[in-house]
Structure 1
Amino acid sequence: MKSLSSTGFALFGAALVAISFGLARFAFGLFVPPIRVDLELTPYAIGIIGALPLISFLLATLVAPFAADRLGARYTAVMSGGFAVGGLALISQASSALSLGGVFACGICTGLMMPALTAAMQALVKRSLHGRVSAVMNAGTSIGVVVAVPAVLFLAGAWRFAYLSFAVLAAVGVVAAWYFIPSVSRVTPANAAPPPPINALQWSRLFRLSLFAFAMGFVSSAYWIFAPDLVVTLGDLPSGATGWLWLAVGIAGLGGAVVADLADRNNPPITHALMLMMLSSSMALLAASPGQLVLTAFSALVFGLAYMSLTGLYLMTGIRLLPGRLSMGPVLPFMAVALGQATGSPLVGVLVNEFGYADAFAIFSAIGTLVAILSPLYPRYIDHEPGESVEDETGLQAAFDHQLEDAAGEPLDPHNGTSRNH
């Protein structure tokens, strides 16, 4: 194994995330128009198929921390890449809705990859840099989406060949993972104290974080699965034009790592409200002007920046809320996002069948706006010393935390949510 610096590992992790999340998972929506036509699928069927990788992602995420501990980071990452190769190759040979089941294997790939990278990060990266490195790796999704764009621009009618090309890239990723990722899962000093038990305030904040992540995943599912089909069906744009849509999503999404890092150090609730409002507005704009390529591309830019900023923010908030518990803190919000997308995808298909694309997107946009209004409840990691006033904490969050403090019967340290008596 060749040792990587913190920066090198962040970039390499972003490349593996690009393959697993960008190509194996989110590129599917880009190819929905030609796949739907070739295989004669209904929007409801597309919604069900779109939910399969999200369900398998959840199932894989449940066992991924144990796999990383037992097998080590290297073998878990290689196994993740193997599922990507198999799933992508199977999709390339699909002849019916049933044979598109390769998306299920792709979901397993994504569920295993991030825990494997997290375990490797513990061995290679200083703890103080975990949040920033995680945000950079998370932005790799956008890189994968961008890589998928030339395939749909030049191979709009050859989606099978495009998926076969993705499978080859995934195989390259498997070889690279074997070479660069350490075999150990983590490096822990023999005399290291175990992390303190999770207290009531931390559970409350994790619950709120997971609810917001679920809601964002639910709302965003409409865009990831049906946005390309919307502009083709409702806006009469050619299938190849959807490539520009995903290119805009990918390019803007690269800024998500920067926004998430700034939000983590400043005001997460306000950033969450702004980004979720932007995401909801992008869906409304797409539904209102599906035939205008410039406006649809602008909608994709807004969506890409908002989505990647929000997922990066959830990731970093999870790390902050449970320091020293990387197998839980950043995993729970990602599971909640996937569960929200798995729940929303079939529902969007039903709404499209019943009311059409425009009304379905408008409904989901309205839901996103309502959730954004509740952003003052977003959990915040408060960085100050005990005894200092909490002037920048939102009023709604303060009310929740004070109620928990009263219920616990002892004062809580606002710096990390643990009892001051510990």
Structure 2
Amino acid sequence: MNAKKLIVVGMPMIAVTYGLSRFSYGLMLPYINETINMDQSTSGLISSLSYIAYCIAILFAMVCSNKVTPRSMLMVAGLSSIIGLGIISISSNPVVLGLGIFLAGLSTGLSSPPYADIVSANVETRLQNQTNSWINSGTSIGTAFTGAIAIIMADSWRETYLIFMVIAIFVLLINYKVLPKHRTLEKKVTVNHSKKEWKNSIPLIIASIFIGISCSAYWTFSRNFMLNLNSVPTYLGEWFWVIIGVAGLLGGTAGVFINKFGLTSAYRISVLALSTSSLILGIYHSNNIMGFLSPVLFGSSYIFMTGVLIVWGISVFKTNPSFGLGIPFLVLALGQAMGSIFSGVIADILGYQSLFVGASIIGYVTLLFKQNPIK
């Protein structure tokens, strides 16, 4: 199948698994808390379940990449998303809510690596970076959509998640019909990779975990923070998620940017923008212009950053694209899981402003890392 056709079916699946199933929790948290009263520590802990599920699923996807076809893996991802969203919609306490969040989170780890394999097997080399980046930008479409639905549906969060479940069913059926049923290239390698590949992956792994810790506070608590600020117009808090999502479409240009300016330049620019978005939220949140600039920077740079990590990982583990994508995303999710738990505790003790400033500092530290020369 050609690159455009793969992007058309891949973007909606990533939109469902990441935007609707995973990141929507931070968007819907203010409304969920009106029904299920939770303190910030509990909210952060539940958020971490999504990332923990992601880690489990992506490990499974990497280990089984030679045993299960990418299409089959994506079918499981879609089913996990559907079941998780359904459970969230009927949850009446933190335990059931956490179960739904966990199951929905599994879908994200199961969806990304298979597309890397399909792209590697079906798309010509010169178009692979762009194709992977545009499929990855489906996260921003899902995020923008969840924000728009939340505004329309107001505080009807249960009905919102039911709508998400129906969309997930529709997207799964499309992928079932369109994706290739068999591998077009025989895979020749397993998860045994050379010492050189693992050595080259060290900066990638360390950078990914710190980026995950840094951005977790924003994904979980940014909108809740904005909605509770009296100095910020209500519309800015309501449209916050939509702004993040729409801006995220710029992240789809990561592959093109990397091809033209190099991976290191793309990485540093995205780190600067991502970290600055948290810093602005912590210091200049009462300024309407800065309040608008922060989600624009975060949305565009986060999707751009994940595109960079995809290309970086695949360039390190050239023998197995799904493994190359899986490693940085796995470590990123581990950082996000830890960050979500710590963020809730820090918010309880020091407040949101200190939380976002601290998150930005952690992000700036990752500027110290760069890609090792690949030989």
TM-score, normalization: structure 1? Answer: 0.83
Aligned partner of 1:77 among 52, 74, 78: 74
SS state at 1:71 partner:
coil
- What corresponds to 1:388 in structure 2? none
Question: Cα–Cα, structure 1 residues 36 and 236, in superposed 2: closer, same or farther, change >3 Å?
Answer: farther
Report which stretch shifted further, 234-243 or 94-103. 234-243
- What corresponds to 1:405 in structure 2? none
Alignment of 1:375-390 (within 5 A): 377-380=369-372
1:363 counterpart = 2:355: no
Aligned partner of 1:93 among 90, 95, 99: 90
Alignment of 1:326-337 (within 5 A): 326-337=321-332
Q: Which has the higher helix share?
A: 2
Question: For 1:170 and 1:186, how far apart are their aligned partners in 2?
Answer: 27
Question: For 2:191 and 2:176, how far apart are their aligned partners in 1?
Answer: 34
Aligned partner of 2:155 among 138, 154, 157: 157
Residues 376-395 of structure 1: per-residue CA shift (max 9 Å, x gap): x3115x5xxxxxxxxxxxxx
Report which stretch shifted further, 352-361 or 233-242. 233-242
Question: Cα–Cα, structure 1 residues 70 and 371, in superposed 2: closer, same or farther, change >3 Å?
Answer: closer
- What corresponds to 2:244 in structure 1? 249
Question: For 1:355 and 1:195, how far apart are their aligned partners in 2?
Answer: 47
Structure 1: unaligned runs, 5 residues or longer? 383-415, 418-422
Question: For 2:224 and 2:151, how far apart are their aligned partners in 1?
Answer: 15
Question: For 1:295 and 1:161, how far apart are their aligned partners in 2?
Answer: 33
- What corresponds to 2:220 in structure 1? 225
Residues 15-43 of structure 1: per-residue CA shift (max 9 Å, x gap): 11111111111111111111123211111
SS state at 1:330 partner:
helix
Letter in 1 for 2:273: M
Alignment of 1:110-149 (within 5 A): 110-149=108-147
Deviation of residue 68 (structure 1)? Answer: 4.4
Question: Cα–Cα, structure 1 residues 260 and 354, in superposed 2: closer, same or farther, change >3 Å?
Answer: farther
Deviation of residue 287 (structure 1)? Answer: 2.1
Aligned partner of 1:6 among 3, 6, 25: 3
Question: Cα–Cα, structure 1 residues 128 and 263, in superposed 2: closer, same or farther, change >3 Å?
Answer: closer
Aligned partner of 2:60 among 60, 63, 66: 63
- What corresponds to 1:353 in structure 2? 348
Question: Cα–Cα, structure 1 residues 284 and 65, in superposed 2: closer, same or farther, change >3 Å?
Answer: closer
Deviation of residue 199 (structure 1)? Answer: 4.1
User: Retained in 2: the 8 A contact 1:30–1:242?
Assistant: no
- What corresponds to 2:320 in structure 1? 325
- What corresponds to 2:28 in structure 1? 31
Question: For 2:269 and 2:210, how far apart are their aligned partners in 1?
Answer: 15
Letter in 2 for 1:362: V
Deviation of residue 322 (structure 1)? Answer: 2.1
Deviation of residue 67 (structure 1)? Answer: 4.2
Structure exhibiting the larger radius of gyration computed from Cα positions: 1
Report which stretch shifted further, 297-306 or 286-295. 286-295
- What corresponds to 1:105 in structure 2? 103
Aligned partner of 2:48 among 46, 51, 61: 51
Deviation of residue 210 (structure 1)? Answer: 1.2
Deviation of residue 180 (structure 1)? Answer: 0.7
Question: For 2:169 and 2:89, how far apart are their aligned partners in 1?
Answer: 15
Deviation of residue 88 (structure 1)? Answer: 0.6
Question: Cα–Cα, structure 1 residues 201 and 324, in superposed 2: closer, same or farther, change >3 Å?
Answer: closer
Letter in 2 for 1:154: I
Larger RCO (CA under 8 A, 6+ residues apart): 2
1:288 counterpart = 2:287: no
Question: For 2:93 and 2:86, how far apart are their aligned partners in 1?
Answer: 15
User: Retained in 1: the 8 A contact 2:148–2:239?
Assistant: no
User: Retained in 1: the 8 A contact 2:116–2:325?
Assistant: no
User: Retained in 2: the 8 A contact 1:145–1:246?
Assistant: yes
Question: Cα–Cα, structure 1 residues 8 and 112, in superposed 2: closer, same or farther, change >3 Å?
Answer: same
Question: For 2:132 and 2:141, how far apart are their aligned partners in 1?
Answer: 15
Aligned residues with identical type, % of pairs: 26
Letter in 2 for 1:329: G
Structure 2: unaligned runs, 5 residues or longer? none
1:270 counterpart = 2:304: no
